[in-house]
Structure 1
Amino acid sequence: MSSQVRLRLLPSARCLFDQPVQVKVEGLRSRQKGVVFSSSATYRTDGSGKIDLLRDPSLSGSYFGVEPMGLLWSMKAETLHKRFQKSCALNPHVVKFSVHEEDREDRMLAEVTNERPLTGNGVSRVPVKGRNFQGVLFTPPGEGPFPAVLDLCTLMCEKRASLLASRGFMILTVPVYTDHPDNIKQMHLDHFKEAVDFLQQQPKVGSKEVGIMARSKGGDIALSLAAFVSGVKAVVSINGCNAVVSVPLYYQNHQIISPLGSDITKLITTESGASIIKYGLGDPLAEENKYSLVPTEQAKGHFLFVASEDDLNWDSKAYMDQMAERLKHHGKENFETLCYPGAGHLLEPPYSPYCPSSFHRIVHHVVLWEGEARAHAEAEVHLWSKIQEFFRTHLSCDAAQTKAKS
């Protein structure tokens, strides 16, 4: 490495996963070209031998143009169809940035490590197990009270919950599937209501009214909780369906909603080996599927419906529009809609590596989630801020004074 070249991460080399960092390089030769970062971005230095990703464009590599966080969202796995995942929030993500001189056999000039924890200082993480649910409870530092949110993840993942807790919310994250999806023949809303009840009973919760956040299959469970269970004040449904998917939904020992049918023969296999499954799910508005629709008009709370226009898992945009129309038909105005052109199905907290395809454990295929990397990354940044704003608006206590620090 060159002792004269300095690679800096501002404001600090340690920050929460959902925080941006500024990458600056100093001590290079004037107008030097060919500084390659580990995620394949090539830059040219300015007249003083500096590079600042806030202002300087990438000339080639994984992305082009001025993209301050492009080195993170453009990362790709060495093999196809791999998703960047970490189910537990205990250990931070560690990203190594390095500067190389392209014209001199890729010689490393400087390197620095960015530690990106998923949990802010003072946030507590407590595994919990109820009679019919299991999950992890994240609580911000301080006495509270805090607004409370139930995070329904399809399979257990703590990233979204731990980061939101670091922004001042008490979060209980619970998986929709506690067993292999093939082994689950029906779902019971009572199990998820038990999680809502548990959250409401926490002494630091500021209100008996809670929020729910969910994506994909978790979306129809979140909508059903809002429709059938009291105390649900705000729901964020990200790329969810307006009908119950996969298996029938039961509540208080009775089937309340039938599952929407699907046709696996409508899968489209692409050259990469990944399948497009978007067209395999039945039409929620077809007459034969009317008993699969979630009666969202029964809900007392507020909804934020989010859809990615380039979602290849299913037609999220159509489902969002149908939910909005149903509520309007019943004279309801308790909803907002957000649509993201160019975004794919897997909307995550910001600055995650973009994932266009990976193995789908429910359909047993590698599938295309799709989207375009830059547009998808921009959607994640905007949505993450919007989620926090929505919950602060509709949940009764303000978390602004109790925000955790990284």
Structure 2
Amino acid sequence: MFTLLGRYHTRAVVRFISTQGHPFSTKTYFRINPRVALVDERVSIKVNDLRPLQRVTVRTCVEEGKAVFCSCGHFQADQQGQVDIAEHASTGGTYKVSHDSMGLFWSMKPVPGISKDLLLRKGDVTTPLVFRLSVIDGHIPLEDPQLATPVVLATEELERWYKHEAVRRTVVREGSLRGTLFLPEGEGPFPGIIDMFGSTGGLTEFRAALLASRGFASYALPFFGHDDLPPSLADFDFDYVLGAVDWFACHPSVRQGGIGVVGTSKGGELALLLGMATNKVNVHGRTMPRSCICVAMMMACGWIHTLKTFMETCPEEKRKNVELIIYSGAGHLIEPPYMPLCRASYHNKLGMTLVMGGQLEGHAVAQRRRLEETAPILPETSVVDTKTDKLLTYRDHAYCMF
């Protein structure tokens, strides 16, 4: 596991929370470890030097582009005047669970009237998400228009990154291919993964950057709506992604013997099709699909039926290596662990807001389970379970077609 060294230090101004508040004499302070980390790492947050049994609200805010997201938990200090987010129950706020060190992150939601975006997503992976924490006296709801002067006891910031500082980022312009190549520190070769997103088009880098931070050579592959690629999905040519597989699988920094493909939404469909269409996506030279599919229970039943029909039409030798995993309560956009649920998002190509579904706690569990289930196999992208002859692969996002 990589450890961020904190070479980058940036600060963000989150307008929603005032740190001025009502004057209050206190030595209260946060103890956060680590203060600089990757987005899928757990963080320890403690509040010290409170009064014994004091009731407080711990609030977290982040601003990224047009998105302003906040969360809060209601806690009671112990007899020593400490609140440990991982050990103490949140009895109110944006989440209510007994023990969860990351609840302040996965329960974040857009601030009404301030956030212009319903989706918290990192655009520039060379900068961190900067989270501003504050501890406030008393149990205060997240949206309380009557509270003009909260008593802020302490504030702190922490950084969460998608891209480790040692990861190398290179713009790809090879023939018709476009996108971004991320390579981990070292000479390699590394296990390789192609990463694709959905029908909104454009280039999305955050997941590829995180994969590279975990030791993968990763290729963020746009297929329309970026640079000089076709402007619409209607003009998309499947030969383009086949060419990307050929180029990436032969890259000197990519380990031979097969690459992985990860896809969200329309990218999930393309991942399936690539597994069927090329032997470059394989295991130890054996042709087989590289993408297992996770489908959220909250998605429309018709889409799940379509997936099952798709798998039933696969050739037998490939069908046995395809696995359908259903996460109950998950929405469409399964992000890296501890990122907030996006229940609805504006689709720039359709010109409308689409409901993504999902339940807050169920979605958070799905994102965490996906990491826990795949962590043991991620360092090896070409492993077959000898007992079942089933491909062990990077299980990723819900598949559907808009």
The TM-score normalised by the length of structure 1 is 0.75
Separation (CA, whole Å) in 2 of partners of 1:357 and 1:72: 18
Residue aligning to 2:224: 177
Contact 2:224 2:236 in 1 (8 A): no
Q: Which amino acid aligns with 1:345?
A: H
What secondary structure sits across from 1:163 in the alignment? helix
Asked if 1:384 corresponds to 2:371, the answer is: yes
Contact 1:303 1:334 in 2 (8 A): no
Residue aligning to 1:34: 56
Contact 2:341 2:360 in 1 (8 A): yes
Asked if 1:305 corresponds to 2:293, the answer is: yes
Worse overlay, 359-368 or 370-379: 359-368
Separation (CA, whole Å) in 1 of partners of 2:238 and 2:374: 24
Separation (CA, whole Å) in 2 of partners of 1:91 and 1:218: 25
Q: Which amino acid aligns with 1:7?
A: F
Contact 1:122 1:140 in 2 (8 A): yes
Residue aligning to 2:179: 135
Contact 2:58 2:133 in 1 (8 A): no
Q: Name whichever structure is richer in helix by fraction.
A: 1
Separation (CA, whole Å) in 1 of partners of 2:270 and 2:58: 45
Residue aligning to 1:18: 40
What secondary structure sits across from 1:40 in the alignment? strand
Deviations along 1:336-385, one digit per CA (max 9) or x if unpaired, are 22210000000111121221111022332111101011110111112134
Asked if 1:61 corresponds to 2:49, the answer is: no
What secondary structure sits across from 1:61 in the alignment? coil
CA 1:36–1:396 in 2, change beyond 3 Å: closer, same or farther? closer
1:212 Cα deviation from its structure 2 partner: 0.5
Separation (CA, whole Å) in 2 of partners of 1:120 and 1:304: 27
1:125 Cα deviation from its structure 2 partner: 0.6
The TM-score normalised by the length of structure 2 is 0.76
Asked if 1:4 corresponds to 2:32, the answer is: no
Separation (CA, whole Å) in 2 of partners of 1:22 and 1:391: 25
What secondary structure sits across from 2:295 in the alignment? strand
CA 1:393–1:208 in 2, change beyond 3 Å: closer, same or farther? closer
1:388 Cα deviation from its structure 2 partner: 4.7
Contact 2:56 2:135 in 1 (8 A): no
CA 1:181–1:109 in 2, change beyond 3 Å: closer, same or farther? farther
Contact 1:2 1:110 in 2 (8 A): no
Q: Which amino acid aligns with 2:185?
A: P
Task: Work out which of the residue numbers 182, 191, 199 in structure 2 matches 1:147.
Answer: 191
Alignment of 1:39-58 (within 5 A): 39-58=71-90
Task: Work out which of the residue numbers 153, 168, 187 in structure 1 matches 2:236.
Answer: 187
Separation (CA, whole Å) in 2 of partners of 1:57 and 1:328: 50
CA 1:333–1:168 in 2, change beyond 3 Å: closer, same or farther? same
1:13 Cα deviation from its structure 2 partner: 0.5
Separation (CA, whole Å) in 2 of partners of 1:133 and 1:172: 11
Contact 1:302 1:394 in 2 (8 A): no
Residue aligning to 1:92: 128
The count of aligned residue pairs is 332
What secondary structure sits across from 2:272 in the alignment? helix
| TM-align CA RMSD | 2.6
Task: Work out which of the residue numbers 151, 159, 163 in structure 2 matches 1:107.
Answer: 151
Q: Which amino acid aligns with 1:149?
A: I
Residue aligning to 1:360: 347
What secondary structure sits across from 2:262 in the alignment? strand
Separation (CA, whole Å) in 2 of partners of 1:202 and 1:186: 27
Unaligned runs of 5+ in 1: 235-297, 398-406
CA 1:232–1:62 in 2, change beyond 3 Å: closer, same or farther? same
Separation (CA, whole Å) in 1 of partners of 2:78 and 2:305: 48
Contact 1:317 1:339 in 2 (8 A): no
CA 1:335–1:93 in 2, change beyond 3 Å: closer, same or farther? same
Q: Which amino acid aligns with 1:35?
A: T
Worse overlay, 73-82 or 165-174: 73-82
Q: Which amino acid aligns with 1:148?
A: G
1:121 Cα deviation from its structure 2 partner: 3.1
Contact 2:56 2:138 in 1 (8 A): yes
Task: Work out which of the residue numbers 232, 236, 246 in structure 2 matches 1:197.
Answer: 246
CA 1:115–1:394 in 2, change beyond 3 Å: closer, same or farther? closer
Deviations along 1:205-233, one digit per CA (max 9) or x if unpaired, are 11152110001111221222222222112
Deviations along 1:227-257, one digit per CA (max 9) or x if unpaired, are 22221127xxxxxxxxxxxxxxxxxxxxxxx
1:59 Cα deviation from its structure 2 partner: 1.3
What secondary structure sits across from 1:175 in the alignment? coil
Alignment of 1:219-230 (within 5 A): 219-230=268-279
Alignment of 1:318-357 (within 5 A): 318-327=305-314, 332-357=319-344
Contact 1:189 1:225 in 2 (8 A): no
Deviations along 1:144-175, one digit per CA (max 9) or x if unpaired, are 22101111122321111111111111000012
Identity percentage over the alignment?
Answer: 29
Asked if 1:373 corresponds to 2:346, the answer is: no
Residue aligning to 1:74: 107
Task: Work out which of the residue numbers 255, 261, 264 in structure 2 matches 1:206.
Answer: 255
Alignment of 1:239-254 (within 5 A): none
1:109 Cα deviation from its structure 2 partner: 1.0
Separation (CA, whole Å) in 2 of partners of 1:198 and 1:328: 26
What secondary structure sits across from 1:150 in the alignment? strand
CA 1:46–1:319 in 2, change beyond 3 Å: closer, same or farther? farther
What secondary structure sits across from 2:38 in the alignment? coil
1:9 Cα deviation from its structure 2 partner: 1.2
Q: Which amino acid aligns with 1:34?
A: V
Q: Which amino acid aligns with 2:154?
A: A
1:58 Cα deviation from its structure 2 partner: 0.8
Residue aligning to 1:159: 206
1:34 Cα deviation from its structure 2 partner: 2.9
What secondary structure sits across from 1:100 in the alignment? strand
